Amino acid sequence: MLREPVGGDVVVPQEPAPLTRHLRIRQDRGFTVLEFRGEIDIAASVEIIPPLDRATAGPGPRVVLDLSRIEFFDCSGLRLLYRARSRVLDRGGQLHLVCTHPLTLRILRVTGLVRLMPPAPTLDAALGQPEATSGSV
């Protein structure tokens, strides 16, 4: 998609740059997609919390947490998921999860989070499923 501003120069929109080395945020079909990358541990969570909180602020946030590009995920990552879920629920929004990483899926099953946020294998699948933000462990 090319846009021509008043000055006659052609502007080519570019993909948003990563906010941090562990997180990229973009918009897709009316949802804010937070794409986690690399190793999600305590150091990464410190970087991720401020943009996560911004994305889940305001009334009715529509958020997708995409874990398809992670390599490692520990309890700090679980806290991020619970934080996002709580903030979205408190504000009457929608939250979806994308995850295919076998060890992360195992952690989600063991902790019961898989029942609260059923993971989809792709972004398209996540946006095609019903809202998955409520329930109890």
Number of domains in the chain: 1
How buried is residue 68: exposed, middle or buried, by Cβ count under 10 Å (0-12/13-18/19+)? middle
In a domain, 9, yes or no: no
User: Which residue segment(s) compose the domain that 74 sits in?
Assistant: 23-128
In a domain, 2, yes or no: no
In a domain, 66, yes or no: yes
In a domain, 137, yes or no: no
- Angle (nearest 5°) at CA 69 between 85 and 49: 40
In a domain, 40, yes or no: yes
pLDDT digits (tens, 9 = 90+) for 17-26: 446 889 999 9
Tell me, what's the pLDDT at 48? 96
In a domain, 118, yes or no: yes
Q: Which residues lie closer than 8 Å to 76 by C-beta, 6 or more apart?
A: 40, 41, 42, 44, 45
Instruction: Name the band, by pLDDT with cuts 50, 70 and 90, for residue 5.
Output: very low
Q: Tell me the CATH number at 116.
A: 3.30.750.24
Instruction: Name the band, by pLDDT with cuts 50, 70 and 90, for residue 15.
Output: very low
Q: Distance (Å, rounded) from C-alpha 51 to C-alpha 44? A: 12
Tell me, what's the pLDDT at 11? 43
